[in-house]
């Protein structure tokens, strides 16, 4: 689904690897009958590897992203060091605090404080690493896995209006990361503007999600 942040993760890795791929977008309200054949849990994203006929599709965004990173060694995203790789995966587990707060904001108009508190963890981690990206001098696995929600900050602003308060003084490293990632080729290859995100959420909230927008 074009506006699913989890599906966006897969596109980002494919773009970063410069791998040729074909995308089929679906309507999550009226799911096609064939979806169960490629995604038994009826979730997106799902990845079919054409060269490996007879093999089941892959589901779950982090599993797909890690598979792609290992399958296509060009521009490696996860650290080669086993400990650093494990630490990055733990950091992404902590990102659940942001994804949970994000949905709470969109569905209940509450949870903004929880969102900022969870984002504090990533601000402090960037300070600790002393690098522009979580991947060092270039975007890495963590950067691409969290980007879809940073791209959707305007949706929070759209929902909460004047109660939205992203503080660049509180999050200077994250603010810098957002600016840098907007210029990354992989990100630009699958980027939706704030206005496009807000329009999709407006239609979704109205009960008539515009799944064809940008598809």
Q: Confirm if 145 and 92 have CB atoms less than 8 A apart.
A: yes
53 pLDDT above the threshold of 80: no
Nearest to 197 by CA among 206, 188, 210: 210
Say if residue 45 is preceded by a cis peptide, omega within 30 of 0: yes
- The whole-number average pLDDT for the span 67-73 is 96
- If you average pLDDT over every residue of the chain, what do you get? 95
205 vs 13 pLDDT, higher one: 13
Q: Which domains does the chain have, with CATH numbers?
A: 5-71 (3.40.30.10), 82-205 (1.20.1050.10)
- 54: confidence class by pLDDT, cuts 50, 70, 90: confident
Residue-level pLDDT at 27: 92
Residue-level pLDDT at 214: 85
Residue-level pLDDT at 55: 82
Contacts of 173 (CB under 8 A, 6+ apart): 123, 126, 127
Give the single-character DSSP code of 207: T
- The whole-number average pLDDT for the span 202-208 is 91
141 pLDDT above the threshold of 90: yes
171 pLDDT above the threshold of 80: yes
CA distance 143 to 1: 21
CA distance 119 to 93: 13
3-state secondary structure of 109: coil
Cβ neighbours of 179 (radius 10 Å): 10
Angle separating helix axes 153-160 and 141-151, nearest 10 degrees: 30
157 pLDDT above the threshold of 90: yes
Q: Which two tokens stand for residue 121?
A: 């963890």
Cβ neighbours of 210 (radius 10 Å): 17
Q: What are phi and psi of 79, to 5 degrees?
A: -60, 145
Catalytic residue among 2, 4, 128, 169: 4
Question: Is 21 among the catalytic positions?
Answer: no
Residue-level pLDDT at 56: 85
Cβ neighbours of 199 (radius 10 Å): 17
- State pTM to two decimals: 0.95
- The whole-number average pLDDT for the span 65-72 is 97
């Amino acid at each position: 689904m074009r506006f699913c942040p989890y599906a966006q993760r897969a596109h980002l890795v494919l773009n970063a690897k410069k791998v040729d791929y074909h995308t089929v977008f679906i309507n999550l309200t009226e799911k096609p009958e064939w979806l169960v054949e490629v995604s038994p849990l009826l979730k997106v994203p799902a990845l079919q590897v054409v060269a490996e006929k007879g093999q089941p599709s892959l589901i779950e965004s982090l599993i797909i992203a890690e598979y792609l990173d290992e399958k296509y060694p060009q521009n490696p995203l996860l650290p080669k060091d086993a400990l650093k790789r494990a630490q990055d995966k733990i950091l992404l587990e902590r990102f659940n605090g942001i994804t949970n707060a994000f949905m709470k904001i969109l569905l209940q108009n509450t949870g903004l404080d929880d969102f900022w508190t969870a984002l504090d963890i990533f601000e402090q981690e960037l300070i600790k690493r002393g690098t522009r990206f979580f991947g060092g001098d270039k975007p890495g696995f963590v950067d691409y896995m969290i980007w879809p929600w940073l791209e959707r900050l305007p949706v929070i602003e759209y929902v909460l209006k004047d109660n939205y308060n992203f503080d660049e003084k509180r999050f200077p490293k994250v603010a810098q990361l957002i600016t840098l990632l907007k210029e990354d080729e992989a990100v630009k290859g699958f980027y939706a503007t704030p206005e496009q995100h807000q329009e999709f959420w407006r239609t979704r909230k109205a009960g008539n999600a515009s799944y064809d927008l940008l598809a």
